[in-house]
């Protein structure tokens, strides 16, 4: 069983962001592996452990994305590859998906491709479905658990808005993983040592046999949202009942009920 | 037919309210609106689509469309769009619609704008606003190809008004992929108990780690483990919160700390790694107001916070704040609302 898992390096979610000359700046906040992708790596590792498989971690990004890959290696991934090419700096989700699909083809013999639910920077959540479509494979998103897996089929449970859906699919397939799957493991000491020494090969567009895919989505402007002007009012009183009565009246007066 | 299309997302024949918001938003763009409805036994949805402003309906009904499957639905949408060349297809931002839009974008070599909070037409193209980095920044985005595929954030476009006198023509369309050519099969489905539709709720009452501090209750004797006792107490606390939510006809939310501690299911989590919500009223009980929580609820119209700690960051965002114990305030508040809203 060969499993490819995609990981992204993103600014820590507590980072204070600002916009300078149209680009996002997160000061000295650390870059971290996208939190959703840790669930994807965990799922890939569990499946590999159970089905005698290997896990190839892949990231698209600048040099610093190697850190996300090292995190995946430290968790237990067998190999890591960074796709990096200046021509991809403004790639939209569809352009990235074409690159992801080419990387999966280049790895060869992949049975499962696994993504996290979404990246916490761009917040689009399109990668799994788009990559699946480029590959011509089925997409199984929001996967909460795997019921069965063999050489040609997978049966799994999806956590959809309305409940749980059990789906069977042919392989190869593309999955996106949600939090319900399992808590991601911490990198072990040995894992961290191994990861720090690991070679991370670089693939350019040329290595993937691609010319720069054209991006159809354009970002014309990034801005800070208008500051929220809240006039705060603390509600006090002699007893809980008095406070509650005042608060209920104030809320009703806001006209939102 | 050109114009704007709207994908009506539904689950087993019940449309997501955001589908109708999308029809109204499409209507506001000025072109004729065609609603797309796929499924089996879903023709009743066509009438609602007309009431909310659709001028025409393309109805894909087939046994192969009975259960939602990404490949079946996306293939049909792509086929129709290739034939009829709409300018844009609007979707509500649901997991299904996002998936379909993603696949159609690849099929038609166009782009998707996801989870947008504003949209307008500029010349030939569409410009939209997409909150990024969990709403900390806003990105202006355009699609340089047709059709523009756009998913609209629920409750960002106002409540649509239905007009029961409106009607239109329904055109039936055949499925694009035969059952035998589909790779996936839905074998089972289970509703999750106490399922919440946070995205559509006008009122959300959320509890955080503070709910653990339930003063009085003694857990049943068979629970001996300390952690289990804590969970049991917090769960009683969440049912108290549920009563307040019910009095306000709202849904129950939670912080990640409450979810991670096992007090309430993940489906209730609000925040960056939970649901992004935008209700008219958000009541935060025993929630400190961490940046990742705020990311999920900061666009709520009126925020109310109850917290023991006068320095809790949540108070900075709150229209009304109470420094106090949620276990004293919540029952009193439920009572006060019941009296006033005569329920
Ligand atoms: C990558 C990442 C993603 C995250 N995503 C999310 C997310 O989606 N959603 C989310 O919520 N968090 C998220 N978090 C976690 C977030 O950082 C906070 O840890 C979390 O929101 C804290 O939850 P809390 O406010 O309930 O708990 P705490 O911060 O522990 O606050 C509890 C509050 O309850 C008050 N309190 C205690 N007892 C009472 C009482 N009896 N009455 C009244 N008040 C009382 C306390 O004063 C305190 O302010 C994320 C974190 C990371 C790193």
Question: What was the pLDDT predicted at B194?
Answer: 58
Q: Which positions 29-68 of B are in contact with A (Cβ < 8 Å)?
A: none
B135: left (phi over 0), alpha (psi -120 to 50) or beta: left
Across chain A, mean pLDDT equals 95
Chain B residue numbers touching A134 (CB-CB < 8 A):
106
CA torsion sign for A17, A19, A24, A30 is: negative
DSSP tag of A180: G
- Look up the pTM and report it: 0.93
Taking a C-beta distance cutoff of 8 angstroms, is the pair B183, B205 a contact? no
pLDDT tens by residue, B214-263:
986 788 899 999 999 999 999 999 999 999 999 999 999 999 999 999 99
For residue A252, give the 3-state DSSP assignment.
helix
- Rounded Cα distance, B75 and B237, in Å: 47
Q: What is the helix, strand, coil percentage profile of chain A, to 5?
A: 30, 30, 40
**CB B233 near ligand 1, within 6 Å:** no
Q: How confident is the model at residue A194 (pLDDT cuts 50, 70, 90)?
A: very high
- Apex A225 CA angle, B301 and A8, nearest 5: 110
Q: Token pair for residue B181? A: 């050519």
pLDDT at residue B319, as a whole number: 97
How confident is the model over B98-146, as pLDDT tens digits?
999 999 999 999 999 999 999 998 888 899 999 999 888 999 999 999 9
A137-188 pLDDT, tens per residue? 999 999 999 999 998 999 999 999 888 999 999 999 999 999 999 999 999 9
Average confidence (pLDDT) over B8-14: 94
User: How many Å apart are CA B253 and CA B278, to the nearest integer?
Assistant: 12
Which one has a higher pLDDT value, A18 or A250? A250
Distance A243 CA to ligand 1 centre (A): 24
Q: Is the pLDDT of residue A37 over 60?
A: yes
What stretch of H or E contains B329? helix B326-340
Under a CB-based contact definition with an 8 Å cutoff, are residues B287 and B208 in contact? yes
Residues A223, A224, A225: CA angle, nearest 5 degrees: 115
3-state SS class at A94 = helix
* % of chain A at pLDDT higher than 70: 100
Q: Is pLDDT above 60 for B1?
A: no
* pLDDT > 60? residue B343: no
Give the integer Cα–Cα distance in Å for B51 and A62: 50
The CB-side HSE value for B330 (13 A sphere, CA atoms) comes to 28
What mean pLDDT is reported for chain B? Answer: 94
For residues B10-18, give the mean pLDDT: 93
Task: Kindly give the pairing relationship between strand A31-33 and strand A9-11.
Answer: antiparallel
Q: Cα(A4) to centroid of ligand 1, in Å?
A: 34
User: Cis omega (within 30 of 0) on the bond before A172?
Assistant: yes
Spatial distance between the Cα atoms of A157 and A137, rounded to a whole number of angstroms: 18
Q: Does the beta-carbon distance from B103 to A129 stay under 8 Å?
A: yes
The per-residue pLDDT for A22 is 80
Q: CB contact, 8 Å: A253 with chain B?
A: no
Sheet holding B125-132, edge to edge: A217-223, B137-143, B125-132, B118-122
**In the predicted structure, residue B195 carries a pLDDT above the cut 70:** no
* Rounded mean pLDDT, B295-313: 96
Cβ–Cβ under 8 Å, residues B106 and B23: no
User: What's residue B320's pLDDT?
Assistant: 98
Q: For the complex shown, is ipTM > 0.90?
A: yes
Partner residue facing A167 (CB), from B12, B185, B318: B185
Within the 142-181 window of chain A, which residues sit less than 8 Å (CB to CB) from chain B? 142, 155, 159-170, 173, 179-180
Distance (Å) from the alpha carbon of B327 to chain A's nearest alpha carbon: 10
Stretch B52-77: mean pLDDT, rounded?
97
Rounded distance from Cα B207 to ligand 1 centre (Å): 9
Residue from B66, B74, B112, B135 to probe the interface with A (highest A Cβ count within 10 Å): B112
Q: What's the pLDDT tens digit per position in A94-149?
A: 999 999 999 999 999 999 999 999 999 988 999 999 999 999 999 999 999 999 99
What six digits make up the tokens of B213?
């501090």
Backbone phi and psi for residue A105, each to the nearest 5 degrees, phi listed first: -65, -40
Structure tokens at B139: 């990105």
> A222–B142: do the CB atoms touch at under 8 Å?
no
Q: A166 to chain B: nearest residue by CA? A: B188
Query: Is 60 exceeded by the pLDDT of residue B209?
Result: yes
Query: Measured between CB atoms, does A257 come within 8 Å of chain B?
Result: yes
Q: Is the CB of B208 under 6 A from ligand 1?
A: yes
Smallest CA–CA distance, residue B230 to chain A, in Å, is 21
pLDDT at residue B193, rounded to an integer: 63
The proportion of chain A whose per-residue pLDDT surpasses 90, expressed as a percent, equals 86
């Amino acid at each position: 069983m060969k499993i490819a898992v995609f990981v992204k390096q993103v600014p820590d979610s507590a980072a204070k962001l600002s916009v300078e000359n149209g680009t996002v700046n997160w000061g000295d906040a650390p870059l971290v592996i996208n939190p959703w992708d840790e669930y994807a790596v965990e799922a890939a590792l569990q499946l590999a452990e159970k089905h005698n498989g290997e896990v190839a971690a892949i990231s698209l990004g600048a040099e610093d994305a190697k850190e996300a890959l090292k995190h995946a290696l430290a968790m237990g991934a067998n190999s890591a590859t960074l796709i990096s090419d200046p021509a991809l700096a403004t790639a939209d989700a569809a352009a990235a998906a074409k690159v992801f699909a080419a990387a999966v083809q280049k790895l060869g013999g992949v049975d499962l491709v696994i993504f996290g639910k979404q990246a916490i920077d761009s917040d689009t959540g399109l990668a799994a479905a788009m990559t699946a479509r480029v590959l011509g494979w089925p997409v199984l998103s929001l996967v909460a658990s795997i019921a069965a897996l063999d050489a040609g089929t997978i049966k799994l449970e999806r956590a959809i808005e309305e409940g749980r859906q059990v789906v069977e699919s042919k392989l190869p397939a593309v999955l996106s993983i949600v939090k319900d799957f399992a808590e991601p493991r911490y990198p072990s000491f040995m894992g961290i040592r191994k990861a720090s020494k690991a070679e991370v090969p670089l693939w350019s567009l040329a290595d993937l046999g691609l010319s720069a895919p054209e991006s159809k989505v354009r970002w014309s402007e990034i801005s800070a949202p208008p500051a929220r002007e809240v006039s705060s009012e603390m509600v006090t009183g002699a007893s809980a009942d008095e406070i509650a009565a005042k608060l209920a009246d104030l809320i009703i007066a806001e006209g939102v009920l | 037919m050109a114009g704007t299309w709207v994908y009506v997302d539904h689950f087993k024949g019940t449309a997501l309210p955001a589908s109708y918001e999308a029809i109204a938003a499409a209507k506001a763009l000025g072109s004729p609106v065609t609603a797309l409805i796929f499924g089996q036994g879903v023709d009743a949805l066509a009438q609602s689509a007309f009431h909310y402003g659709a001028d025409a309906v393309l109805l894909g009904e087939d046994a192969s469309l009975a259960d939602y499957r990404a490949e079946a639905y996306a293939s049909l949408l792509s086929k129709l769009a290739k034939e009829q060349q709409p300018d844009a297809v609007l979707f509500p931002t649901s997991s299904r619609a996002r998936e379909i839009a993603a696949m159609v974008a690849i099929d038609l070599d166009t782009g998707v704008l996801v989870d947008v909070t504003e949209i307008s037409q500029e010349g030939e193209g569409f410009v939209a606003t997409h909150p990024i980095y969990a709403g900390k920044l806003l990105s202006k985005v355009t699609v340089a190809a047709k059709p523009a595929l756009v998913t609209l954030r629920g409750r960002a476009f106002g409540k649509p008004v239905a007009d029961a006198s409106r009607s239109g023509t329904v055109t039936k369309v055949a499925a694009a992929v035969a059952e035998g050519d589909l790779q996936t099969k839905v074998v089972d489905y289970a509703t999750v108990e106490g399922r919440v539709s946070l995205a559509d709720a006008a009122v959300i009452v959320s509890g955080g780690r503070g709910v653990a501090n339930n003063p009085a209750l003694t857990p049943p004797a068979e629970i001996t483990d300390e952690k289990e006792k804590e969970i049991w107490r917090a769960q009683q606390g969440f049912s108290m919160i549920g009563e307040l939510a019910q009095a306000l006809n709202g849904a129950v939310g939670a912080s990640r700390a409450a979810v991670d501690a096992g007090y309430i299911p993940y489906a209730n989590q609000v925040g960056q790694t939970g649901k992004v919500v935008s209700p008219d009223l958000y009541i935060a009980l025993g929630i400190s107001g961490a940046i990742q929580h705020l990311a999920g609820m900061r666009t709520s119209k009126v925020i109310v916070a109850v917290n023991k700690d006068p320095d809790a960051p949540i108070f900075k965002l709150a229209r009304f704040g109470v420094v106090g114990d949620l276990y004293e305030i919540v029952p009193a508040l439920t009572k006060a609302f019941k009296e006033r809203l005569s329920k």
